[in-house]
Amino acid sequence: MNYELVLVRFGEIVIKGRNRNRFETMLLTQIRLALKPFDKLEFVRSYARVYIRLNGESYEPVAERLKDIFGVLSFSPVIGSELELEAIRENSLKLIRNLSVPPSTFKVSVNRGWKQYPHNSIEMNHLVGSHVLRNTPDLKVDVRRPDVELKVDIQKDMAYIYCEVVKGAGGFPLGMNGKAMLLLSGGIDSPVAGWMAMRKGLRVEAVHFHSYPFTSEQAKDKVVELARRLAYYGGKIRLHLVPFTEVQTKLANSGHDNLIITLMRRSMLRIAERLAEQNDALAIVTGDSLGQVASQTLGSMNVIGRVASLPLLRPLVMMDKQDIIGYAERIGTYETSILPYEDCCTLFVPKSPAINPNLNIVERAEAMMGGELDRLIDEAVQGTEVVVLKAGEEAEASAGEQRREDDWF
Ligand code: ATP
Ligand code: MG
């Protein structure tokens, strides 16, 4: 089927006023960037929607890419028709005949956006519907629950005919709601948390703590791979690789075996906040999910979270593991996440980690390490390397790389 147009509908319809305009402008920018490889496309904006003229590009690969653009509520492949009644009837029939799953029931809904059109919408429903019925054996009309709703939108320049509605990713255009640092481990959860944050319009920079040489080169490659996958959704992604060995060793020798994970997480947050400040990010995103492990009980989250002054965003906090895995599969991170390489935290897992750590004891333990811990944290921040990842490409090292808006895809 040769479609001429794709009709794209925008998400988050509750947004009003000036924000609405900003939403639409940013979304159109994101759509243009993501579809840049298809160079014949043209974009026409009209209120709360965009028409993409395919100009000979095939619909399917464009649709595959559109599905993953945040802010897109849904889209439809459209036939553009001349306004003569016969043309509209023929094109409607062609559309119904070419559906991949032939419907057994249908209805026609004509919208007469151009009021000078000689037939009103009720007449048009009959005129188009009867033609389709006459020429499609076994097809019946069902106005209540049709398999297919054939929509005809009559405008002054032409009629837009479509029936398929494909669900988009929803959410906000990337970057519309600011920037956050994503704590990216090699596990299943944090990449999903990152995707959710991006879907809410946050641009993310990833932060990974490694304990090289205790953790392997493969463990790092795995995180690079996960960040690269996120880059497919979020444009270029900067991944901060933090050398955590010294801090971790210091904490492991503090004599508080059962509090090691609590102490480690607090130091991670301190470092992440420093990186957030350096990179103008206003929140920290983690893959914590309530009750999943000792460090994610409410008691642990309380004691760990208190060290941070930026908002801690935990998109998965109320989700079941099965649902999280479902998302991981859908966004294409699951296979990488389940590769078996050691994470820095698994190296030091104590026999019985505290599930309800005591804030006073934790703060006292940190105070005992005093300046020494602060110094190691400073060093970890200073020793952090940044790699910039782009979907489908090798990592490039970056030293304070300048980023341009059109550099994202
Ligand atoms: P994940 O699947 O994301 O690793 P998890 O269930 O294994 O989560 P934890 O290992 O307890 O849970 O980690 C909780 C969260 O802390 C992670 O989702 C991630 O945001 C952050 N985190 C843990 N380890 C690291 C690390 N090495 N580098 C960066 N962030 C980390
Ligand atoms: Mg983990």
Residues 80 and 120 placed together within one structural domain of the fold: yes
Number of domains making up the chain: 2
Question: Residue 12 has what pLDDT?
Answer: 63
Contacts of 128 (CB under 8 A, 6+ apart): 88, 89, 92, 108, 110, 150, 152
CA end-to-end span of the chain: 29
Predicted pLDDT of residue 47:
72
The verdict on the CB of residue 77 being under 6 Å from ligand 1 is no
CATH number at residue 143: 3.30.2130.30
> What is the Å distance from ligand 2's center to 344 Cα?
9
Assign 3-class secondary structure to 252-283: HCCCCHHHHHHHHHHHHHHHHHHHHHHCCCCC
d(CA 50, CA 47): 8
- Strands, E assignment, 93-188: 105-112, 140-141, 148-154, 159-162, 166-167, 179-183
Report d(CA 260, CA 212) in Å as an integer: 18
Can you spell out the DSSP letters for 303-353?
A: HHHTT--S-EE-TTTT--HHHHHHHHHHHT-HHHHTS-PPPHHHHT--SS-
Atom number in ligand 1 closest to CA 223? 28
Which of 183, 226, 292, 384 has most ligand 1 atoms within 8 Å of its beta carbon, as the pocket-test mutant? 183
Q: Tell me the C-alpha distance between 205 and 202, whole Å.
A: 10
Report which bound ligand comes closest to the CA of 183.
1
What distance in angstroms lies between residue 227's CA and the mean position of ligand 1's atoms?
14
Give the separation between CA 250 and CA 245, rounded to whole angstroms. Answer: 9
What ranges make up the beta strands (E) of 125-164? Answer: 140-141, 148-154, 159-162
Same domain for 163 and 73? yes
Tell me which residues have their CB within 5 A of the ion that is ligand 2.
Answer: 185, 187
Mind listing the pLDDT tens digit for each residue in 207-219?
999 998 888 889 9
Task: Using the 3D structure, point to which of 137, 167, 197 is the last residue of a domain.
Answer: 167
**Residue 242 Cα: closest atom of ligand 1:** 28
Q: What is the pTM of this model?
A: 0.90
Measuring CA to CA, which residue among 233, 223, 246 is closest to residue 203?
Answer: 233
Residues 6+ apart with CB under 8 A from 391: 228, 229, 231, 232, 409
Reported in sequence order, the residue ranges of 41-71 that DSSP labels E, i.e. its strands, are 42-46, 49-53
Identify the three-state secondary structure at position 17: helix
Q: What pLDDT is recorded for position 289?
A: 95
Among 129, 144, 167, give the residue marking a domain's end.
Answer: 167
Do 147 and 207 fall within a single domain?
Answer: no
Report yes or no on 32 lying in a domain.
Answer: yes
Atom of ligand 1 nearest to the CA of 296: 11
Closest CA to 300 of 357, 259, 251, 257: 357
Q: Residue 340 has what pLDDT?
A: 86
> pLDDT at position 139, please?
95
The answer to whether 186 and 332 have CB atoms below 8 angstroms apart is: no
Q: Give the Å distance between the CA of 293 and the centre of ligand 1.
A: 10
Q: Which residues pair with 124 in a beta bridge?
A: none
Residue 384 contacts residue 270 (beta carbons within 8 Å) = no
Please provide the average confidence, as pLDDT, over all residues in the chain. 91
pLDDT at position 213: 86
Q: Are 365 and 254 contacting, i.e. CB atoms less than 8 angstroms apart?
A: yes
262 shares a domain with 227:
yes
Long-range contacts of 55-62 (CB under 8 A, 24+ apart): 59/1, 59/3, 59/6, 62/6, 62/35, 62/38
Are 111 and 21 part of one and the same domain? yes
pLDDT at 18: 76
Sites in the chain below the pLDDT cut of 70: 12-15, 343-348, 392-409
- Domain boundaries, position 395: 179-407
Q: What is the pLDDT of residue 345?
A: 60
* Residue 84 domain-assigned (yes or no): yes
Other Cβ atoms closer than 10 A to 336: 19
User: For 19-77, how does the pLDDT look when each residue is reduced to its tens digit (9 = 90+)?
Assistant: 888 888 999 999 999 999 999 999 998 777 899 999 999 999 999 999 999 999 999 99
Q: Is 215 in the pocket of ligand 1 (CB under 6 A)?
A: no
- Please choose from 181, 182, 188, 189 the residue to mutate so as to test ligand 1's pocket, defined by most ligand atoms within 8 A of CB: 189
Same-domain check for residues 116 and 77: yes
265 in a known ligand binding site: yes
